[in-house]
Each structure stands twice: as structure tokens, then as C-alpha cells.
Structure 1
Amino acid sequence: MSFINAIGTAVPENCFPQIQIAEFMASALQMNEYDQRRLKALYRSTKINQRYSVLTDYGKTIDEYEFYPNTLDLEPFPSISQRMLAYKKYALPLCLKAIDNLGTLPDITHIITVSCTGMYAPGLDIEIIASLQLNTTIQRTAINFMGCYGAFNGLKMADVICKANPTAKVLVICVELCTLHFQKKMDEDFLLSNALFADGAAAVLVTGTPSATGQSLALKSFFCDLYLEGKQDMAWQVADFGFEMTLTSYIPKLVKSGIKALTDKLLENCGLMTQDISLYAMHPGGKAILEAIETALSISVEDNRYAYQILRDYGNMSSATVLFVLKAIIEDIANVRKNQHILSCAFGPGLTLESMILEIV
């Protein structure tokens, strides 16, 4: 078995109220008064209070922009090359901040980086080793472009490594700079994604033994399935002016129709029943998705409170978000006890549904 022994999270310094971001978007899209009202209603409906970005522009006026051009229509709109240069500039410091929040690191044997919002080579894995002066013989794996469920694949890889080598000490780092990919289009998909996504990083230490000094989360079981009928409803494409997200209103219906069978199989695989689950760590992909999960699994808003808390305070940070949710759970000492089981799920392109069971030890 393998164990999460520490979770460190980090967000950029720039924090913006949701309504302020809406005003930036309305200006950038040169909306009329009617469309502005509709956009602000959309932003209010997300139940997000604030989001973080590596860019300062979302809180500035046109003549103060640093990343976007100081023009009314933001032309010439930043190219994919400019956005990847920004990713390279900002991703590493955010990773290092999350790793620092883990506490004292043991002798790391493996590093797994997870991201779907940027890439370059030599990449984050090598830069982290160089910055922290870690052993250059550390084994490195990069998990890219898997979207919001990417953390699950990072944890599954760490689990396999620790089961094969019980002395392994695996550092998993998820970093997403979603706000680099703002798209200046009026399509419903882009309006919604612009309203949800944010920047953040999370680091996790996974080992073959639980922590001797604090709480650990045992990685008990994983289960994944594909709902190919939703392949066109959630997608992530590299375009000339950033990565373009397809995110249709049909996704909550797909999640609602598939998550019960998914979690039933997950529970069956590890010999548990629904009543054995005490806590829920759902990826807060959006309010409608959380509500669909509650209906399908017959759980309450209170059961889902950790996901709502992270959605409210941070928005959707893609792969890093579910690790923020797990951290919120283990820090809620008054309501968390030894041997409780946590059910966690996330969703992404495919349509992919990922799930896992963790146990507090």
C-alpha cells in the first residue's frame, strides 16, 4: 500500500473578486449593456467568490495591462508562443511554493509532474531538481494534457512505484496556469470556461509507509471509465492563441448518468459499501457538476462542503483542485477521524471519469 503523507498548496499573489474578472471580460469582449448583464449573471451563478492568476491584468484597466496589449480589443492577441513563455516564467515559482508548504522533504527518489496548461523542455521536473538541489538520479515522469483528472494519474503512478519499491519517496506536483488561456470569443463554451478556471499548484508526498508524526491518507483503490458519448462535450485543443476549452452544458448530465456505476464498481473492488464512506473529495468542476454528483449519489450539499469551499475560494484549478479539496479535509480536525474512508472523483476530456478511495490513518 502507499500513503499520502503531506499535501502542500500554493496560489499566485494576484487575487481577483469574481465580479472584477467579469468586468475585465466584458470590456475585452466589447459587450453591449445587455450582454454585460448576462455575463455578470453567469459569473454570479458559478458560486465562485474569487480566483487567482499569475497575470495582474485581470484587475487593471486597459492602459495598465502587462500581458495583454493596451488596446480596446486586446489586439494583437497573445500567441501560443507568448503564453508558453509566460507559463515557463510563472509555473516553476508556483511549484516551489507548493513544495515548500509540504514541510521538510525526505530524500526524494521519484518526481511526477502533472500539467495540462503548458509545457517546455527541459521541463519543470528538471528545473525543480536544479532549484532544490535534489539528487540528479531522481526518476522523472511527466503527465501532460489530461485535464482536471490529471492528479489521479499522478497518484496512480506514485502508488505503483511505491508498491514496487516500498522505500520509494515520490513527489507529485500538479501546476495549472489556466488564466493564460483566456479566449476572446463569445461562444458559450469560452464564456463558461473564462468564468470558472484559475491558477494554482499542489504538491503531494507519497511513500510506502504512513507518516510517523501526522495524518496520512492510504491510497486504497482506483477505478476509471470512459463515456465516449461525451467525447465532444469536453475537449482541450492547442490553437494559435492559447489552449481552447470545449465545455458544454451537457457535461453535468453525463456525470450524473455515469458516476453511480463508476463508484459502485470502485467500492466493490475494495470490499466497501456506500455506508462505509464518511467523506467526499469531489473535483469542483463547477456548481452544476457538484449538484449532479449529489443527485446521483444521494449525498447532501453538506457532504460536498469541501468541494464547494474550494470552488468558492479558488475556482477550478484543473488537476490541482482535487488536491486542495483533500487538504481541506485533512485540516478539518474536528470532523476527521482515523479509519474514515474518503471517496474522490474527477472528470475530464474523453469523457473520462476517475475515482479513488482513500483511508485516513
Structure 2
Amino acid sequence: MTVSGLLRGGHSPVPSIRSVGTAVAGCGYSQSDLLDHFAVSDPKIVRLFHASGIQRRFLTLPDRGPGGSPSEESPGHLRAKHQRVALDMGSRALRACLDRAGLGLGQVGYLCCVTTTGLLTPGLSALLLREMELPSTVERLDVVGMGCHAAMNGLAAARSWCVANPGSVAVVVCAEVCSAAYVFDSTMRTAVVNSLFGDGAAAVALACRPAGAGRERVDGGRPVPHLLSSASQVITSAADAMRYDWDDQQGRLSFFLDPQIPYVIGAHVEEVVDRLLAGAGLRRSAVRHWLVHGGGKKVVDAVRVNLRLTRDDVRHTMAVLRDYGNLSSGSVLFSYERLVDEGVARAGDYGVLMAMGPGSTIETALVRWEEAT
């Protein structure tokens, strides 16, 4: 069966992406602001910050102490900050997402919460349910520790739930308080991490239209993006390239990014994308919209070069990286929101969503826009 036949008359319903919403927290900082805030003068670190392609990030940082340096945050303070800020950002992103689709809180049947920047038990989904007074019957899933590609894993879970529950709404919320996972010292290891990440949350709503139902309402009557399929690639030879380690001296977790990550991702990205497209009988030239996780300038360049994409193809990715930094799991959804706001997607267009993270893993999804019917 062709993709069009699957969408219009297949045996299984195909979920559509109903809407997206985003939120940030803290204050907006330029890279120069952050270097000044933490009194960084090492020329290598200064160059690293300014070569990132980032102009501004939103972070929830401690005030300066009596000596002019930022106040110390204990692991307990960082955990409390993660919970407080994740709840705040997540609830605002969820509200924006539902409002955009004309949906109410009572219509949410499934809630998947994604976060890597702090461990919460009960999970963020239960806390968000209570905070927003969602129905107590909402089915929940917390995706923890999967890092920057975890939005894709959340979408895959929500897609399966929607297929099993036509007419009901599933929401994925990604809330990453990266400033609750920072270690500040004079090493290049921590400088790489500290030069990239920002605080942000994104929410996306999905639903399958039951047979015989009326017209879908998606972002003002625009064509509806349908989530067709997904494909992943775990690069086991680089499983430790992105990881948390325990820092005994700092008494907290410290994130590590291997300098070889761009080359590892670049060497494997063609395989997973071509496998994703082959399942739908497509070539890369059929894809009009590319939404790539903004993991960093070098990572995006590696993806672009190996897939032979243009700079225009990754314009949303680079714009989000410029304006917000690397938002971990939420980045790809921030890029998707830019595409929605641009309003250029037309019925029949194909798009690829892609994110990379610990494992090392590349996660992809294929979407096709169709007229609302």
C-alpha cells in the first residue's frame, strides 16, 4: 500500500501532530554575559563559547555571592531547581500546545514526560498532572536518561498509544533544566557542556481521527502532519561518547561530550535516514522539510554534509541553536514550531525529524502533510 493509501484508507489509523508549544525559564544570556558571570578568562574557553553559533540562551543561574562569584548550589538545591523549573516550563509549554489546538486539559488521555537533567520520583508526569489538575485517569509514561534524542522516543510511544486509542489525545512534554546539571570548574570538559546548553520545554499533541469523524482542527486549518514511521540507529562502538559521570570533587554528576561526536554522527546518519525513507519507498530528494536536533554547530554541519543538505534545509535548527542553545530533548520540537510558524508546509510534503543523543543513538521519524479532512 502507498503512503497516501495508508493515510486515506489503510487498516490502521495514522496519528497526526495536532500542535506544539514551547517555553523557557530564567534569564536570557549572551555568551559574553556567561563568560563574565563566571569570570572566565581562559582564552581557549572564551574561543569555544564564541565559536558555538549561539547568541543567547535562557538559564536559571544562582546569584553572585559576597565575593562576586556565583553562589554554590548543593545537589539538593539543584534537584529542587530542576523540579521547580521543569514544572513551570512544562506546564506553560503544555498549556500553549493545547490552546493552539483548541484542546482542553480534560481531553488529554496520555501524558509522556521526558527529562534527563534531574531525577524525580514520583516522575514529572505525576507532578505535572497534579500541578495542572489533569484528569486522574490520564495514562502516563516518564522517559528518563535518554538525553537529547528522547523526544523522538516519547513520540514513538505516544504514536503507538494513539493508534490503540483513536479519537483520544496524547501529549509529549520535554522539560530540560540544563542549568540544574552544570558543573563549573576550569576544565575544558565542563566548558564544552557549559558553552552549549540552555533551559527549555516543549510539548506536542498527537491524535488519531476515528473513522467517520469530522474535520481535524490543526493550527488554523493548515495541512496536517501525519507521523508515519520511525527508525533508529544505536552506535554501540561510541556508547560512552555522551554520558554522566560522578564527580567526587564536585559531589555531583558531570556530563561528558566526546569531541569525536560530530564525526561519529556524520558517519552513521545516512544509514538510518535511508532506512527510514526506504520503508516508505522514498528517496532523500522527496523530503522537503528537515528538522534536526541542534546538538551543536559541528554536529549539525556533519549531518548536513553527509546528507548533502543545504543550509536552508537546516535553517530552523540553526536558528533555534542561535537563539536558545542546545535544549536537549526539546530542541527538535522548537525547530518544528519554527516550521509551523513559517507556514510553508503544503499537502503532500514529506519531512524528517531527527535527534541524536547518548547511546550513541540517532532517532528519526517520517511525517507527511495532508489536507485536513
TM over 0.5: yes
Letter in 2 for 1:178: C
Gap regions ≥5 residues in structure 1 = 58-63
What value does the CA root-mean-square deviation take over the aligned residues? 1.8
State whether structure 2 residue 205 is matched by structure 1 residue 205.
yes
Counterpart CA distance in 1 for 2:171 and 2:351 is 21
Which residue of the partner structure matches residue 306 of structure 2? 296
Which residue of the partner structure matches residue 61 of structure 1? none
| DSSP 3-state at the match of 2:362 | strand
Which residue of the partner structure matches residue 162 of structure 1? 162
Letter in 2 for 1:279: H
Q: Is the 8 A contact 2:18 2:217 kept in 1?
A: no
Letter in 1 for 2:203: A
State whether structure 2 residue 9 is matched by structure 1 residue 11.
no
Mapping for residues 49-64 of structure 1, pairs under 5 Å: 49-55=55-61, 57=62, 64=63
| DSSP 3-state at the match of 1:109 | strand
Q: Is the 8 A contact 1:149 1:346 kept in 2?
A: yes
Which residue of the partner structure matches residue 44 of structure 2? 38
Mapping for residues 255-334 of structure 1, pairs under 5 Å: 255-333=265-343
Mapping for residues 109-148 of structure 1, pairs under 5 Å: 109-148=109-148
Q: Is the 8 A contact 2:118 2:181 kept in 1?
A: no
In the TM superposition, what is the alpha-carbon distance from 1:13 to its structure 2 partner? Answer: 4.4
Letter in 2 for 1:212: R
Decide which of 94, 98, 107 is 1:99's aligned counterpart.
94
| DSSP 3-state at the match of 2:195 | helix
Q: Is the 8 A contact 1:182 1:242 kept in 2?
A: no
| DSSP 3-state at the match of 2:20 | strand
In the TM superposition, what is the alpha-carbon distance from 1:137 to its structure 2 partner? Answer: 1.0
Decide which of 229, 232, 239 is 1:224's aligned counterpart.
232
State whether structure 2 residue 35 is matched by structure 1 residue 22.
yes
Q: Is the 8 A contact 1:228 1:351 kept in 2?
A: yes
| DSSP 3-state at the match of 1:232 | coil
Which residue of the partner structure matches residue 60 of structure 1? none
Letter in 2 for 1:53: L
In the TM superposition, what is the alpha-carbon distance from 1:277 to its structure 2 partner? Answer: 0.3
In the TM superposition, what is the alpha-carbon distance from 1:188 to its structure 2 partner? Answer: 2.4
Q: Under a length normalisation based on structure 1, what TM-score does the superposition of the two structures give?
A: 0.90
| DSSP 3-state at the match of 2:204 | strand
Which residue of the partner structure matches residue 180 of structure 2? 180
Judging changes above 3 Å, is the alpha-carbon distance between structure 1 residues 184 and 167 closer, same or farther for their aligned structure 2 residues? Answer: same
Counterpart CA distance in 2 for 1:92 and 1:20 is 26
Counterpart CA distance in 2 for 1:272 and 1:70 is 61
In the TM superposition, what is the alpha-carbon distance from 1:211 to its structure 2 partner? Answer: 3.2
Q: Residues 9-59 of structure 1, C-alpha deviation per residue, up to 9 Å, x if partnerless?
A: 00114111121112223x2x6x4xxx2x3222211110100000133x4xx
In the TM superposition, what is the alpha-carbon distance from 1:202 to its structure 2 partner? Answer: 0.4
Q: Is the 8 A contact 2:177 2:200 kept in 1?
A: yes
Counterpart CA distance in 2 for 1:303 and 1:151 is 21
Which residue of the partner structure matches residue 79 of structure 2? 84
Letter in 2 for 1:181: A
Gap regions ≥5 residues in structure 2 = 1-13, 210-214
In the TM superposition, what is the alpha-carbon distance from 1:264 to its structure 2 partner? Answer: 0.7
Q: Is the 8 A contact 2:148 2:329 kept in 1?
A: yes
Counterpart CA distance in 2 for 1:15 and 1:211 is 37
Worse overlay, 102-111 or 45-54: 102-111
| DSSP 3-state at the match of 1:21 | helix
Q: Under a length normalisation based on structure 2, what TM-score does the superposition of the two structures give?
A: 0.87
Q: Is the 8 A contact 2:149 2:356 kept in 1?
A: yes
Judging changes above 3 Å, is the alpha-carbon distance between structure 1 residues 142 and 70 closer, same or farther for their aligned structure 2 residues? Answer: farther
Judging changes above 3 Å, is the alpha-carbon distance between structure 1 residues 269 and 24 closer, same or farther for their aligned structure 2 residues? Answer: same
In the TM superposition, what is the alpha-carbon distance from 1:212 to its structure 2 partner? Answer: 2.6
State the identity as a percent.
Answer: 26
In the TM superposition, what is the alpha-carbon distance from 1:71 to its structure 2 partner? Answer: 4.3
Counterpart CA distance in 2 for 1:217 and 1:237 is 39
In the TM superposition, what is the alpha-carbon distance from 1:129 to its structure 2 partner? Answer: 1.9
Which residue of the partner structure matches residue 47 of structure 1? 53
Counterpart CA distance in 2 for 1:294 and 1:42 is 21
Q: Is the 8 A contact 2:174 2:329 kept in 1?
A: yes
Counterpart CA distance in 1 for 2:36 and 2:348 is 46
In the TM superposition, what is the alpha-carbon distance from 1:70 to its structure 2 partner? Answer: 4.1
In the TM superposition, what is the alpha-carbon distance from 1:183 to its structure 2 partner? Answer: 1.2
